Structure 1
């Protein structure tokens, strides 16, 4: 039954078939639905993986599966690189009702040995596609020193930062304005009403700068446009100063400019071969179990929070193009896009179609149709039974003599969130490495208390821990959030690591402390992606 986690019968475990590199490649080339899932943590995944392998960590399977794998009989191929995570992940997916689960023969190493191409980094499909766009369309670009000279000379330019707002706030080009990718064609005419104003688009590296600039060109925006070559990385390598903590953002679009942008975006999407659906068809599409459907609202997060369509998840268009395999890991699925203006969905869809996705846009939507309220509720499997400990009791235990030694608190939050805040004495632990994590703890432990942000992941992981120890295993009711709301003390930093911080790959363009060598190596890697695409041969990308 959909949504029900089925326990295995005593002494029974399903036998999963193996799929070879050749079989998976044939499915990709045929365009049939397939989910190639790399269940390692993000950092190992980023070191080497097949092009369309989506990172799908074992530790989050219950939280992610039903939203990201909407059809229970979709063909799933699970892989790791010998870490022992593929089989437990397949078992868990089987318990959750997925019926077509298999293992990649030989994992990552088997893919390589069979002649398959392996890729580094994250969001590789979009990054390699961006490089192909520049290669095919010769997207105009300017170097960091050239842009700095334009600024210094007071030239008629506007610099638009196509990243997420949080990335922009961390560091930005002096004077730039934050306009996330899908907003560019809608907002550019407001920000550069003089058609002689040069528009320069930047991101952290290359992809969103290229796609953003080419979006303006493709959409018929009359201004001359160019990408800031190599983004903030190139700016930093040129030893030019960045701004920090800026909040400049785009204004509302006038009706005249919105109409012009909608006309151009529609024409562009039609040229790319984007399909159309009407609002009245959405209920039937959502009920269809013969295909995998993803329903994405590509407007800004703020607009989505004010009102949404039923069944549609928030996926701002620029990020959807940048992180497609994370939003929609089923290759060959159908992506249904919606907006309230006729610009952002069409513009996003025209890129996704060129990336060989089956994509359609909902026509005729207006602002009043986005009336569903409340936060999006993820469908989750039933929460397993777990013994809980409340905040006050755990606080008392930890306050006793040798309390942190006797009660070992394991925090299963992401490494980023653990470093932001955690219970005093809590150990960072990855669910995928619990056995190793227990070996790192000091002697004398009498009980384990699991926590995470909300306590939800801790509940799912409690059974894993109970299989490894005879000691009591408890879950902090309400998680670290409840602890903080009760006014209890918190720590920050990487204070106690029972597992390595490998659940997130550190991008060479993140933060303000990156080494020049790492940034240059990242750029060199991006330059080589077009050749890798050709060697791989499964992408089906086409550039209009």
Structure 2
């Protein structure tokens, strides 16, 4: 397996050539330190994610870890899946640092650092939490728009705020604040989406005064102010007159940023051309996408696409094609992605009738490995008759495992499978693997067979089938054969964060502009 060093990878990034820098560790270790454009691509999900997130089989790929021993197996697995240009990062994360490369903390760092750069360059207006609270208490003419995903909004929200996920802001703002004197305040959990959302409205020419809630719900909490929970306020439909104005302004912004255009014939030709990596994203809301979509287009709501760009499109230098049904959301999203130094196209001339493909998106997957399956009833019988002889290993996410799992099941990470087996009690005579659907369990079964002579089975239909059959479940971190490191706990999510962690997170965000300057590979250009 060849190696590529820091200097070579950096040169590719600076030249804008396609390269996928993949950190194959779990998300929490990835969040502790990684190169700027290293996308988290965990070993345990490679088969499930590769063909969708790395659509071109000959794209240059550089795999890294920090000495955990995951890079080489991951690179070999990618090679087995048909990828022909795979290398290892020389020295991994430590080698990158030792060669003079900048390392970043947290997740979605390209987007978050870009947001800080936008505020730095454009002096995006903001109000502190106490200032916004005073406006609310006085009954001033304001509207508060929450730019996060709807599920995040439901968890906790600013009192009186309305859920308007980022890409919807420019399309819906005139409906929610028809009086130009109404002050619009945009918030998220921390900083990025409120900065981008606020600047989106300013860039798009919305006539109202617009400000970000400085530091979002973190700032609200640190000011000892109360949040709401379980709210369901959402945006109304956009009237045609307002849509036309928003579409005109969004188009002008995208053109100014250098976004390219495709008509339907050009879209078909581009999809058939495989010399470049092409990502096709539908930036409408998930509900609209579920009602009907274009062929080949994945759902990527525009606000989240700007927030999580390296996860949606891990190939840096790839071509990104956006579509919507209104002429607003794709252009607004594209104008941000172009400023982030992406090659971005918007499909023009689409009508609602073009979004006619029914059914959920299905990722392209490699052939399922042959496994020995057992039914829900068989597993239930085994657990009832000889529970100590059966080890149920659950390869779902740690979050899902804690929500519910088969009684007695052990949480396990495929990336730490050998260590997980050592945590199991003596007397096990067979293994049963599961996850939500048993998709990941099927791929993990081959790894387990290489580590044991005991029989290995996969639960047909996974834990979902167990639940559908009415079988009991338990919750909590009851049996951890692996540590809960598959997801990094964001300091801004949930309702039980420590003040010190939230403040540290804000301090880290404030330092991102300086880190970008030291790194020097981003090519961001704020207009």
Please give the TM-score of this superposition, normalised by the length of structure 2.
1.00
Give how far 1:289 is off.
1.1
In structure 2, what is the Cα distance between the partners aligned to 1:318 and 1:235?
Answer: 22
| Aligned match for 1:239, one of 224, 239, 259 | 224
In structure 2, what is the Cα distance between the partners aligned to 1:154 and 1:128?
Answer: 35
Superposed CA deviations along residues 63-103 of structure 1, whole A, max 9, x for unmatched, are 00000000000000000000000000001000000000000
2:515 counterpart of 1:524: no
| Aligned match for 2:474, one of 482, 486, 491 | 491
In structure 1, what is the Cα distance between the partners aligned to 2:432 and 2:493?
Answer: 33
Give how far 1:404 is off.
2.8
Q: Can you give the 5+ residue segments of structure 1 that lack an aligned partner in the other structure? A: 1-15
Give how far 1:286 is off.
1.4
In structure 1, what is the Cα distance between the partners aligned to 2:237 and 2:210?
Answer: 21
Identify the residue that residue 334 of structure 1 maps to in structure 2.
319
Superposed CA deviations along residues 238-295 of structure 1, whole A, max 9, x for unmatched, are 0000000000000000000000000000000000000000112222211111000000
Identify the residue that residue 519 of structure 2 maps to in structure 1.
536
2:450 counterpart of 1:467: yes
2:137 counterpart of 1:152: yes
In structure 2, what is the Cα distance between the partners aligned to 1:113 and 1:523?
Answer: 27
In structure 2, what is the Cα distance between the partners aligned to 1:183 and 1:200?
Answer: 15
In structure 1, what is the Cα distance between the partners aligned to 2:185 and 2:524?
Answer: 26
In structure 2, what is the Cα distance between the partners aligned to 1:233 and 1:70?
Answer: 37
2:490 counterpart of 1:507: yes
Superposed CA deviations along residues 21-60 of structure 1, whole A, max 9, x for unmatched, are 0000000000000000000000000000000000000000
Identify the residue that residue 381 of structure 1 maps to in structure 2.
366
Pairing of 1:87-98 with structure 2 (within 5 A): 87-98=72-83
In structure 2, what is the Cα distance between the partners aligned to 1:334 and 1:491?
Answer: 45
In structure 1, what is the Cα distance between the partners aligned to 2:139 and 2:393?
Answer: 55
| Aligned match for 2:416, one of 430, 433, 451 | 433
In structure 2, what is the Cα distance between the partners aligned to 1:404 and 1:524?
Answer: 50
Give how far 1:503 is off.
0.2
In structure 1, what is the Cα distance between the partners aligned to 2:388 and 2:106?
Answer: 38
2:151 counterpart of 1:166: yes
Identify the residue that residue 278 of structure 1 maps to in structure 2.
263
Give the match's secondary structure for 2:173: helix
In structure 2, what is the Cα distance between the partners aligned to 1:354 and 1:492?
Answer: 44
Identify the residue that residue 199 of structure 2 maps to in structure 1.
214
Give the match's secondary structure for 1:496: coil
Identify the residue that residue 163 of structure 2 maps to in structure 1.
178
Identify the residue that residue 101 of structure 1 maps to in structure 2.
86
Pairing of 1:249-398 with structure 2 (within 5 A): 249-398=234-383
Identify the residue that residue 444 of structure 1 maps to in structure 2.
427
In structure 1, what is the Cα distance between the partners aligned to 2:387 and 2:487?
Answer: 27
In structure 2, what is the Cα distance between the partners aligned to 1:367 and 1:284?
Answer: 22
Give the match's secondary structure for 1:450: strand
Give how far 1:377 is off.
1.2
Superposed CA deviations along residues 473-521 of structure 1, whole A, max 9, x for unmatched, are 0000110001111111111111000000000000000100000000000
2:403 counterpart of 1:420: yes
Superposed CA deviations along residues 412-448 of structure 1, whole A, max 9, x for unmatched, are 0000111111100000000000000000000000000
In structure 2, what is the Cα distance between the partners aligned to 1:491 and 1:526?
Answer: 38
Pairing of 1:53-64 with structure 2 (within 5 A): 53-64=38-49
Pairing of 1:33-182 with structure 2 (within 5 A): 33-182=18-167
Give the match's secondary structure for 1:158: strand
Let me know the Cα RMSD of the aligned residues: 0.4
| Aligned match for 2:3, one of 10, 13, 18 | 18
2:188 counterpart of 1:200: no
2:452 counterpart of 1:457: no
Give the match's secondary structure for 1:204: coil
Identify the residue that residue 214 of structure 2 maps to in structure 1.
229
Superposed CA deviations along residues 381-440 of structure 1, whole A, max 9, x for unmatched, are 00000011111111000001xx33210000000001111111000000000000000000
Superposed CA deviations along residues 105-134 of structure 1, whole A, max 9, x for unmatched, are 000000000000000000000000000000
Superposed CA deviations along residues 315-370 of structure 1, whole A, max 9, x for unmatched, are 00000000000000000000000000000000000000000000000001110110
In structure 1, what is the Cα distance between the partners aligned to 2:331 and 2:419?
Answer: 48
Q: How many residues align?
A: 527
In structure 2, what is the Cα distance between the partners aligned to 1:313 and 1:215?
Answer: 23
